[in-house]
Amino acid sequence: MGQAALDSRRARVDEYLQHLQAGRRLSPHTVSNYARELTVLIAELEDLAFERMHNQHVRRAVARAHGKGLSGKSIARRLSAWRSFFRWLDRHYGPVVNPVNGVRAPKSPKALPKALSPDMAARLLDMPATEPADLEPANIQAANIRDKAMFELFYSSGLRLAELIGLDLVAARSIGAERDVNVLGKGSKTRNVPVGAKAVQAIDAWLAVRAQLARPEEPALFVGARGGRISPSMVQQRLREWGKRLGLAVHPHMLRHSFASHVLQSSQDLRAVQELLGHASIAATQVYTHLDFQHLAKVYDAAHPRAKKK
């Protein structure tokens, strides 16, 4: 591949990524995922121009990725990124036939999201806080109170990690007064979610000591060891530490899954759970009906006289 041709392709990809960031206002994490998949596309092209890529080239790329052990879900995400890129090329540099159209990712066994039981969620959140190793002793208690507030809010309101990190201090006023909060979700869409009593108490406790960690004028509700907005990796690390003491491998999204599963078990209202989670499609929420069925099946097996195993 000539260097000039390679530079030209990279320039097109960079222009598209700028469109995603500035035009569509996608999150940096999402743009980074697109960038990674389009880097793979450039490598797959070899000496082909974008305009000369055909359906069979995409199918061969899918077969190679599947042969290397890439999951069907990961391949589907890659194809989605490529398909969107070629649609953009057609609009701005067309006409370009989209070579990804009609290509499907291989099916993988559908893994259900892992959720804690209500009892295990309560045990996790009611544990005494752990001590972060990267803080001075005077700040350890404040960090413990912060962690408690973050994890209570995750489970109380079903937030995504990026949504929790993105909350500003002004949001805390709404949490305290109205027991709800506006969050900025995927695609820059906002939604209002309720906040439970235990989460409100935990956040009030955090606000009382936040100044011990936060830099002056820092707008973020939750801050890290250096006083700025807390990072995703720090939230994940702290929750892992909490979970280890119960022998659990816990991550932030597991608390979101637990929220959805437990609300659905109690309410049987799939549409309400969809709204609370901020899912654009009901199909994304329907996975929790399978979790709910598992719960009901266990109850049936334990209670029905003709279902009990001898």
Assess whether 279 carries a catalytic annotation.
yes
Which one of 229, 256, 257, 262 is the catalytic residue? Answer: 256
Considering the candidates 160, 210, 229, 262, report the single residue annotated as catalytic: 160
304 annotated active-site: no
Residue of 83, 251, 253, 295 marked catalytic: 253
Other C-beta atoms closer than 10 Å to the C-beta of 10 total 13
Cα distances (angstroms) measured from residue 275 to each of 20, 180, 292: 25, 14, 18
Q: Which of 179, 251, 279, 295 is catalytic?
A: 279
Q: Is 253 a catalytic residue?
A: yes
Residue in 215, 15, 250, 233 with CA at minimum distance from that of residue 125: 250
Cβ proximity of 75 and 64 under 8 Å? no
- Contacts of residue 243, defined as CB under 8 A and 6 or more positions apart, other chains included, come to 124, 249, 250
Using the CB atoms, write b or e for 249-264: b if 16+ within 10 Å.
ebbbebbbbbbbbbbb
What is the separation of C-alpha 170 from the centre of its chain, rounded to a whole number of angstroms?
A: 23
Active site residue 288: yes
CA distance 5 to 7: 5
Classify 194 as helix, strand or coil.
strand
Q: 308 an active-site residue?
A: no
From 9, 123, 186, 240, active-site residue: 186
Q: Is 16 a catalytic residue?
A: no
Collapsed DSSP state (helix, strand, coil) of residue 18: helix
Which residues are tagged catalytic?
160, 186, 253, 256, 279, 288
